[in-house]
Structure 1
Amino acid sequence: MPDDNPAPSDQATSDQSETPSKDAAQNEQNDKDKDKDKDSGGTLRKHPILLIIGAVVAVGLIIGGILYWLHARNFESTDDAFVDAHLVQLAPQINGRVTSVTVTDNQLVHAGQMLVTIDSADAQTKVAQTQGQYAQAVGQLKNARAQIHVDQDTYKQALADVAAAQASADNAARDLARYHALVKLNVSAVAQQQYDKARADAQSTAAQRNSALRAAQAKLDQVRASLTQVSAQKGVVDAAKSQIAQANITENYARIAAPVDGHVAQLSVAVGNYVQPGSQMLAIVPLGIYVTANFKETQLALMRPGQPATIVVDSCPGQTLHGHVDSIQRGAGQAFAILPPENATGNYVKVVQRVPVKIAFDALPKECVLGPGMSVEPTVRVR
């Protein structure tokens, strides 16, 4: 029992001895911190120019940041941009074997310059055939027109025959009328035989007149038929002329010329190749290239056509090209995708879309090569 009581007093003595040492260490550290503060304050008081320089630097940074913001807010830029052009893809419109290719890769060509020639023997044969059909149709048209004159002359002769028959019929009718009047006055005034002859003559001449009228009508119908034949033959001539034009067009398809000025690209045809309609032969990159810049829709608030733009091209280091906003597409690119988004179904998360903006070059550089697909970084001044 006497051995158990001294332990707490020993522990207390140990704690009391450690506490002053800790307090002394803490007081010593506090004194050091105060000394440092006094030293630093004293240093700044001894060197006030440091305070001035620090203040000037801080003010300069603030002013510089404000000026940069005021300047940067006047411009909109993007790195989602590339050189673009309306590529001209050339393909044959007829079957045939290639007989000549007069251009090579990347060659500059001009509108109307001959590029590829296809064997056109079949097309030339078709042209000759249609020309022969046209000549035959023209000959038949001339014959039909000549037949009209013949039929018209025949119709005139028939009308003359009608007039003669009409005169004879009128004369016979008058004779019969006179005899008939005499018979009414006196039956014995005219012999029965003479009366019968007058009546027979009247009937005969009337029948001849009617026959002449029918013959004249037939001749008139023949004239009308001849006129119809001429009209129909004109249609045949026009059809033959159209066939000649179509044959000439087909023959021209055998000679493929450049539709625009530009550079040859993707040349995939050679002499001896058998080509079919629609098969790709080559492409032409026109000289009128431009920039398609995909700006965020939040960048378009102040963007308008005609605003100036500077263009940095990766393939032209050290050069800054100049251009202007030509037009802004009415709609974001996703609206023209094969599978446009259906925002009416499911959950919707708003995403800032990009809108293609066409930027035209003011002048193209002569020292560097520009072509569709090359990356550029345009900056448009919107204020």
Structure 2
Amino acid sequence: MPRPIEARIKLAALRHNYLLGRRHAARHNSAAKAWAVVKANAYGHGLLRAAAALGDVADGFALLDLDEAVRLREAGIRQPILLLEGFFEAADLSVCAAYQLTAVVHCLEQLEMLRLAPAPLCLPIYLKLNTGMNRLGLRAEQLPAVRRKLAASPAVGAVTLMTHFAEADGDGGERCIAWQLERFTAMISGWTDAERLPVSLANSAAILRYPQTAHDWVRPGIMLYGGSPFADQDAASLDLLPVMTLRSRILAVQEIGVGERVGYGGTFVARVPTRVGVVACGYADGYPRHAPGGTPILVAGRRTQTLGRVSMDMLACDLTELPESGVNSPVVLWGEGLPADEVATAAGTISYELFCALARRVPVVEG
């Protein structure tokens, strides 16, 4: 019998969340298209699995790795594919062209590679402007040089303008995005024909809260996988469905008395007689080691909490008020019935990290 832990991936929920994002975008622009962001192995859900689930509905797929883009093409994906960090060396350009990929261009060095590329290369690009995220993107003072390089490069095909919001998930209302929109508008003002170029601005938070940012293409990421991008609003209230449910079982039960401790370092000390359930899940499975005692967990559909420190292969939970639960009782670490966002908050992180950290040793089943 295999170890009783698995991650169940509900592909229908993934489709639901993608289509929800596209409907939100359509409130502002009925023609808006949506990239399905499948970077980081589809946020831990499986690249090819996610692509197969969305293959007949997604307008395009966005990711980071050139090899993963090639895998999508070779798996039969025919929609546009966007490389969110673009290409890293000149040799990548021929691969991008051969597999009909679109590349983000975020620095002058990438533009220079395109200018020097041999004919007949012609690559569609997303020109990324830095409006305040200060991560990737071209600055306002670089734009005259950018326009010169674009004009001098026959290797540049269709151009789309993009930026990335730093605070769309904040609680300050429209001012969270207004300052970047103002910078974006200022950066492209005076740019001949810029008003006719397609635009891509909205991430998950902006799609859900600021549909006016939905221009030609939106880029839903965490919302696809059922995570809320907001600290002040849960996924269910946004009509997002959980895609990944991490499930396990109780391996053993310990009855401990007052003053006895649980786990490494004895960080949990029983103040009353306590019934302890030992769960087949630990940080080697992707559960956050830094999750403190008191992190929520479901046992046989009932809510309880973890006890003590997370081990490599096990963690403990409180069964004192769950007398009907024991060895082999089912456990949900996050997912259906227990939002990943809530577990992540208790652990001082975000659901993105929980999903992406799922270990390869955890079996994945589709449901």
What is the TM-score normalised by the length of structure 1?
Answer: 0.21
Could you say which structure has the greater relative contact order, defined with CA pairs below 8 angstroms and 6 or more residues apart?
A: 1
